[in-house]
Amino acid sequence: MITPKEKASQLLFDIQVRTGCVKSSKKTPVRLMQMRDKLIASFVVDEIIELYEFHAISDPNNKRVIDTLNYFDEVKQEIKKL
């Protein structure tokens, strides 16, 4: 499993590639695109966290669910640092 920091970077890069914003657009400053991409990445991770929270409530003794939830909490923190 990759570290939360690596996952955050990978997720952000994947978003940039899929939105075609790896390079700067003349109309949109790079900083603005980075902020937008971080918001998208945070939204995606929030959705994953919400799903795992539902499973954690349903089965609070499931260590794998709790570990995954904690992992994505860390990924979200790493996205903020990027």
Q: What percent of the chain has pLDDT over 70?
A: 89
Confidence of residue 40 (pLDDT cuts 50, 70, 90): very high
Note the pTM of the prediction, 2 decimals: 0.82
CA 4/CA 1 separation, integer angstroms: 9
CA 27/CA 29 separation, integer angstroms: 7
What is the Cα gyration radius of the chain?
Answer: 15
Tokens 């996952």 correspond to 7
